Amino acid sequence: MGELGVPLRWAFSEPARLARTNTYVAVKRRVGATAATIDEYSREKNAIVLQILAAAGLTEADRAAIAAHKVADAVRAAARARSPPASRP
């Protein structure tokens, strides 16, 4: 389906065999329950999403292009840039 007007936010059609389920939410909850840090959460969630995309038939090139959009890394970097430096004792 594509970005649906929201850059870097991809949407997919629901496969008939998974009707009435939300695979993405299930992945997020599973990873969120075990990840110790936001970086670990992001890495693990992205790895699972890429496996789902492979199973859905996306090419390696398509998956590599999606993986290159490290949105969480960009958001953290922007937040750090806005935060004042920590004072040292």
pLDDT value at position 36? 92
| Residue 18 DSSP label | G
Give domain status of residue 45, yes or no. yes
80 contacts: CB under 8 Å, gap ≥ 6? none
Q: What is the mean pLDDT of residues 53-71?
A: 80
Give domain status of residue 60, yes or no. yes
Give domain status of residue 41, yes or no. yes
Greatest mean pLDDT among 17-26, 32-41, 57-66, 68-77 lies in 32-41
- Cα–Cα distance between 84 and 42 in angstroms, integer? 24
Give domain status of residue 63, yes or no. yes
pLDDT tens figures, 5-29: 666 666 666 667 666 667 778 888 8
6 contacts: CB under 8 Å, gap ≥ 6? none
41 contacts: CB under 8 Å, gap ≥ 6? 31, 32, 35
* Count of structural domains, the chain: 1
